[in-house]
Structure 1
Amino acid sequence: MAYPSQIGFQDAASPVMEELLYFHDHALMIVFLISTLVLYIIVAMVTAKVTNKFILDSQEIEIIWTILPAAILILIALPSLRILYLMDEINDPHLTVKAIGHQWYWSYEYTDYDDLTFDSYMIPTQDLTPGQFRLLEVDHRMVVPVEAPVRVLVSAEDVLHSWAVPSLGVKMDAVPGRLNQVAFIASRPGVFYGQCSEICGANHSFMPIVVEAVPLEHFENWTLSTLQDA
């Protein structure tokens, strides 16, 4: 969950998000070094300290500024491709949930269980209890087991939506007539908040996403109680 005056990302709650944070720091350091080098060269040339033939007209310097950017791109591309592969790989998910976007709420279908479906609406501000977050709380959370691969099939019924939970490192477009998929593993118990990240209409900012990760025993009890109440 984000906190006031936060500058960086939310705390990672999945292995993929941890990798994304590492890659962000890696790329940011490269950008910082490039910016420092370019700024130094500009200042040095303005102050006429390095304005000489080597800098202005040199075969060696042309070779350097051709090879160096290529090497930098390789340093960025390799970890990026690795993370893309990890995000796309879905091996034997323990649970499959179908998330369908509507104007303006989400509905969830647990395809591994019969008749386990429900709609998830935002709780109005006047109905919030102390400790709940405005514009983020929902009446029915998507509950998943901890440390279990979860596959989410994302689609929409009317217009474009986007199912995104920053702490879990997932963001997938919900397109009418199309079934996209995304996977994650919640590495710790907790409640993780997200929102529709596609401008889908007048109430776009009022269809939050809440994923609650619980131990397997609690998840089984929740499925039983939900099926009995259905």
Structure 2
Amino acid sequence: MKRIVGSLGALPVLLMAGAAFADQPRPWEVTFQPAATGIMGQITWFMHYTLWFIVPITLLVLFLLAYCILRFRASANPTPSRTSHNTVIEVIWTVGPVVVLLFLAIPSFQLLTAQYNPPEEPKLTVKATGNQWNWDYEYQVDQPLTFNSAILADKDRQAAGKSDLAVYPRLLTVDNEMVVPVNTTTRVLVTGNDVIHSFAVPAFGIKIDAVPGRMNETWFKADKEGLYYGQCSELCGKDHAYMPIAVRVVSEAQYNTWLAAARTDLGGANKALMAEIDAQRNVASAAH
């Protein structure tokens, strides 16, 4: 009985550990990554919602094409009709699409509005500057923190403690992740330093261009701790495919500890944070 109670007590940690590294591309993935923000949840809902219109319309058009091909082929209809128009049909194919578009447009505009209007004033602002082919992050806090984030070479994985490909996938792992607290509205100011880049994290439902000389703004509020991956999504040169984005979402206490240490020793702060997260995961696995 004690063992069962202990396992149940560890369940939240297990769920956190299980979900922590789930948000990354998968082979043959045909749907969105699991939502880690409310906005991404709305995007996923809207995708499912539109399928209720797309699938029936596609089947209807397929049926009409097949019917016309068979019913009005030359051998079955040697004397074609000379009808020039049909008022009923013209009204149906005019009014029908208008109604469908209204059902799609209203929730679409609502989602678009939500994407650009955070429900509360952001508590954290991070400036992301795209370079060929890495990102600079500037934390706009009382004592600003600035660092560069670039793809991690395979030869440097072991030294960085990122040898586990399941957690740190090849071509997506970076040397320094953006670290943010969970359940915190985070504003991201995005710009480019040389050419146009694009800051995109699928699990957060954000994608915004980084244009030189222009400051674009997006936001997210991650509701699950974990490590989330994205990539530059605007063709920006020969190493465009090697410009990943990694955002580590942690508890507020872990974030505050990391931020204080990162100002003087970024590498040490990252390793200490990783060690704490690994220890939590190991405890959860042992309890399970």
What is the TM-score of this pair, normalised by structure 1? 0.93
Could you give the per-residue CA deviations for residues 87-130 of structure 1, whole angstroms, max 9, x where no partner exists?
01033001000001111110100002313111111101222213
Whole-Å separation in 2 of the counterparts to 1:65 and 1:177: 46
Partner SS state of residue 47, structure 1: helix
**Shift in alpha-carbon separation, 1:56–1:190, aligned structure 2, 3 A:** farther
Quote the offset at 1:201 in angstroms.
Answer: 1.2
- Deviation for aligned residue 1:35: 1.1
Q: Work out the CA distance in 2 between the residues paired with 1:78 and 1:29.
A: 15
SS in 1 for 2:126: strand
Using the TM superposition, give the Cα deviation of residue 45 of structure 1 relative to its aligned residue in structure 2, in angstroms: 3.1
Structure 1: gaps of 5 or more residues: none
1:188-199 alignment runs, 5 A limit: 188-199=224-235
CA distance in 1, matches of 2:184, 2:69: 58
Amino acid at match of 1:73: L
2:184 & 2:164 partners in 1: Cα distance? 31
Q: Does the alignment pair 1:202 with 2:257?
A: no
2:109 pairs with 1:81: yes
Match of 1:122 among 148, 151, 163: 151
Structure with more strand by fraction: 1
Over residues 144-175 of structure 1, what are the superposed CA-to-partner deviations in whole Å (9 max), with x where a residue is unaligned?
11111100000111111111111111111111
Once residues 203 and 159 of structure 1 are traced to their aligned partners in structure 2, the CA distance between those partners, rounded to angstroms, is: 13
Q: Distance in 1 between matches of 2:44 and 2:212?
A: 31
2:134 corresponds to which residue? 105
The aligned amino acid for 2:205 is G
**In structure 2, distance between residues paired with 1:160 and 1:5:** 29
Counterpart CA distance in 2 for 1:130 and 1:30 is 42
* Residues paired across the two proteins, number: 228
Most deviating of 4-13 and 169-178: 4-13
Name the residue aligned to 1:36.
59
CA contact (8 A) 1:120 1:138 kept: yes
Q: Which amino acid aligns with 1:2?
A: P
| TM-score normalized with structure 2 length | 0.75
CA distance in 1 between counterparts of 2:65 and 2:201 reads 42
Greater gyration radius: 2
Distance 1:56 1:30 in 2: 30
Q: CA deviation at 1:57?
A: 4.5
In the alignment, what sits opposite 2:178?
142
CA distance in 2, matches of 1:200, 1:57: 51
Task: State the distance in 2 between where 1:113 and 1:4 align.
Answer: 42
Q: Which has the larger share of helix?
A: 2
Instruction: Indicate if the aligned counterparts of 1:93 and 1:150 stay in contact, CA closer than 8 A.
Output: yes
Please report the RMSD computed on the Cα atoms of aligned residues, expressed in angstroms.
Answer: 1.9
Name stretches of at least 5 consecutive residues in structure 2 with no aligned partner: 1-23, 158-162, 267-288
* Distance across 2 between alignment mates of 1:113 and 1:206: 32
- 1:61 paired residue number: 89
- Measured against aligned partners, the alpha-carbon deviations of 1:45-97 in whole angstroms (never above 9, x if no partner) come to 33339x998x9853212111110000011011011100000001033001000
Equivalent of 1:24, from 47, 52, 56? 47
Aligned positions of 1:146-165 closer than 5 A: 146-165=182-201
Residues of 1 paired with 2:230 and 2:55: CA distance?
A: 30
Aligned-residue identity in percent: 39
